[in-house]
Every structure is written in C-alpha cells, then in structure tokens.
Amino acid sequence: MASDPHMIFEAWLAEARASEPNDATAMALATADAEGRPSARMVLLKGHDARGFVFYTNLDSRKGEELAANSHAALLFHWKSLRRQVRVEGRVTPVSSEEADTYFASRSRDSRLGAWASDQSRPLETRATLEARFAEMQARFQSDVPRPPRWSGFRVAPERIEFWSDGAHRLHERRLFVQDSNGWHESLLYP
C-alpha cells in the first residue's frame, strides 16, 4: 500500500477544485492554547508541498497566539461533493519572511489594506471603526502596500495524514499515513 500521501492529497485537491461549488482550499484549523483548550476555525490553504500545508494570518490573532503557545495543530478538509475528508496533524512552524512577502504581494490591494486595518480577533466597538481604519490605510498607502510586521504564515508539517472516503453502509475507507524517521508508513483504520 506504500504511497506518497502528498501525491494523493494533490490528486484529491485537483478533483475537489473541479467539483466543489465553493472554495476547495477551505480547511478547518484546530489549535489549542497553552492549557490545552481547543478552538477551530476555517482558513484557506495557500500552499502545499512535501514540507507541509501553508496558511496566513495576523500573528496577534487568537490562532496566532495559540500557535505561539502550542506549536501543534490539526487541519480538516471536507469535500462534500466528493464525499471525502483529509485530516492532517503535525507541528507548526512559521514560513520564511520571503514566503510571507511573496504571498502578501499576490493578494488584492484591498485585502492588503484590510490586513493593516484589522486588529484580528480583538474587540471591535462598531463596524464604522473598522471602515474608518480601512479608509485611513487607503490614504496612508497610496501605492505599494507592504506586509504588516504582525502578519505572516504558518506551515503544518504533517506527522499524520488520514484519507477518508465515504462507503456504502458506513463501510468507509480510512487510509492512515504516519511519518517517522524512516518515512511514511500506511495502514488502514476501521470506519
């Protein structure tokens, strides 16, 4: 059964991009604080290779603070149209400044301005406050919008990847890949 889970993921993601009515790169990100209290939210996959799965955020957001306190996370992709899921668990590390700069520059101007205007996860008195801050950023950055110092990305380096496929009579297929110093090892799990 030995296969490369990253190649399987790329094939499944390509199928999801062709069939999902909404964003195929949407994934649930689960983090936990220093005391182990979990939280989950949806984020977008912005890169994937043998090193791991990349997403971006404000480092002062709740997820950024939780990852600073506890560098383990889990991801879940759910592609309903394909009746498939992919679960990823692993250690999280920051992306390089160069990677973060390159991705930030690829975003729309308004998205870049929004990153400056938002104190992500902090209390907001009124929507008008956010809109005023956005207008301030439009005036401040007439041309280039640099990456804010507290905005970057993380890479989840997988230690476990599970591929789940729906089966008749709840006889689902679950393929588990676990990585150790000798590479990936595949096994099956009961549904």
pLDDT tens sequence across 140-185: 999 999 999 999 999 999 999 999 999 888 889 999 999 999 999 9
Q: Would residue 123 count as lying in a domain? A: no
Q: Would residue 184 count as lying in a domain? A: yes
* Domain count along the chain: 1
What are 40's strand-pairing partners? 30
Q: Would residue 139 count as lying in a domain? A: no
Q: Would residue 20 count as lying in a domain? A: yes
Q: What is the CATH number of the domain that holds 100?
A: 2.30.110.10
Quick check: 121 and 115 in contact, CB under 8 A?
no
Quick check: 158 and 176 in contact, CB under 8 A?
no
- What pLDDT was estimated at residue 26? 98
Res 2 pLDDT > 70 = no
Quick check: 177 and 185 in contact, CB under 8 A?
yes
d(CA 118, CA 102): 20
Q: Would residue 72 count as lying in a domain? A: yes
Domain containing 170 equals 5-104+152-189
Question: What whole-number percentage of the chain has pLDDT above 70?
Answer: 99
- Strand pairing category for 26-32 and 47-49: unpaired
- Strand pairing category for 151-165 and 38-44: unpaired
pLDDT tens per residue, range 90-128: 999 999 999 999 999 999 999 999 999 999 888 899 999
- What pLDDT was estimated at residue 3? 84
d(CA 61, CA 48): 23
- What pLDDT was estimated at residue 168? 85
Q: Would residue 9 count as lying in a domain? A: yes
The structure's pTM equals 0.93
Average pLDDT over all residues of the chain: 95
- Six-digit token pair at 46? 């912005």
Q: Would residue 87 count as lying in a domain? A: yes
3-state helix, strand, coil in the chain (%, to 5): 30, 40, 30
pLDDT tens per residue, range 48-104: 999 999 999 999 999 999 999 999 999 999 999 999 999 999 999 999 999 999 999
Distances (CA, A) of 139 to 44, 142, 151: 29, 6, 20
d(CA 127, CA 135): 13
Out of 112, 122, 170, 175, the active site residue is: 170
Active site residue 127: no
- Six-digit token pair at 48? 């994937």
Per residue in 79-112, is it b (16+ CB within 10 Å) or e — as a string?
Answer: beebebbbbbbbebebbeeebbeebbeebeeeeb
One-letter amino acid at 43 equals: V
What's the rounded mean pLDDT across residues 32-54? 96
Q: Would residue 142 count as lying in a domain? A: no
